[in-house]
Amino acid sequence: MIGQHQPGANAYRSGPVLMTIEASHNGQRIDNFLLTALKGVPKSHIYRLLRKGQIRVNKGRIKPLYRLKTGDIVRIPPLKLPQPRDEQRPPSGLCARLQDAVLLEDDDLLILNKPAGIAVHGGSGIPFGVIETLRYLRPDCPELALVHRLDRQTSGCLLLAKQRPVLLQLHELLRSGSMTKHYDTLLKGRWQGGEQSVEINLQKNRQLSGERMVQVDKEGQHARSLFSPRQRFDHCSLMDVRIDTGRMHQIRVHAAHIGHPVAGDEKYGDFEFNRLMRLQGLKRMFLHARCVEFTLTDSGRRIAIEAPLDPDLQKVLDALVSKEAG
């Protein structure tokens, strides 16, 4: 963990604390380290302390992007919580939904079939996301962390690591393309031909409204998606999409760019197509992380897990099949 000191906001009420960084945190950004170590302290307050130089490493000021090294001494100043921890409990209904969504859990991993409509982390008016809720439900897992993200309206396989060494392994598998991820999505239009690879660079931008958007940009990050038809209908197609990279909104932007936007996508989609799909019973974006496969490098353990399609999306497919049959 963290030298001889256990993390937790309550320990830092009266005076400064020095924490020695162990090898398991070597290379971790100081801001991410503190967000886990100082549970209960608001993110904005942690960044304020970093900007003002009140959190120091080896007696010196550091920036939020500083990467820790084994043996670093981190000084935490006295802290005060803005509210009692009893007021920071996630809603019982959210806790129950995430408990029921667990597909696999062991000493290393926790894999969910994330329900649509739940953000992976809090912020922007959302007090509790998946990670905050699961950290509350798993107090014996102080290093629990998201391996990757899913959009709020996307359902399906979501990976979390319980230990930092496992997190680093999984991040390396993602970077090297050694983790296979497949999605189910319903796209506008009848797909012509078979498998199609879309390899287009993407760039994140922030609009004046503060909304985050992703655009096709040759100067952006490399992104590759492999689209394969599973079932064709008159005006739409059920597709399997395998992604070799994990860029923000990747499938949605790639699909829209090739003229087949995702059904129900209000940001990059087609307004009239979305209206027609609502008549078929679609109430949210049709994008589901169906399965994930990878091999842990340290143990050679193979993981292959599938998240069943949500009943609300299956009903839409059933309605489309019935309409074509009729």
CA gap 196, 23 in Å, rounded: 44
CA gap 300, 246 in Å, rounded: 23
What tokens appear for 181 in the block? 């991820």
CA gap 320, 182 in Å, rounded: 22
Strand 155-161 to strand 287-295: parallel, antiparallel, or no bridges (unpaired)? parallel
CA gap 85, 88 in Å, rounded: 5
* CA-to-CA dists, residue 169 to 157, 211, 297, angstroms: 18, 32, 7
CA gap 245, 123 in Å, rounded: 25
**For residue 210, is it left (φ>0), alpha (ψ between -120 and 50) or beta?**
left
Gyration radius of the chain over CA positions: 22
In eight-state DSSP terms, residue 88 is G
CA gap 198, 255 in Å, rounded: 9
CA gap 135, 131 in Å, rounded: 6
Q: How crowded is residue 140: how many other Cβ atoms within 10 Å of its Cβ?
A: 6
What tokens appear for 122 in the block? 């809090």
What tokens appear for 160 in the block? 């979390």
**3 state SS of 134:** helix
Q: Which residues, including other chains, have CB under 8 Å from residue 253's CB and lie 6 or more apart?
A: 202, 214, 215, 216, 268
Let me know if 86 is a catalytic residue.
no
In eight-state DSSP terms, residue 191 is P
Catalytic residue among 151, 184, 270, 310: 151
Positions marked catalytic: 151
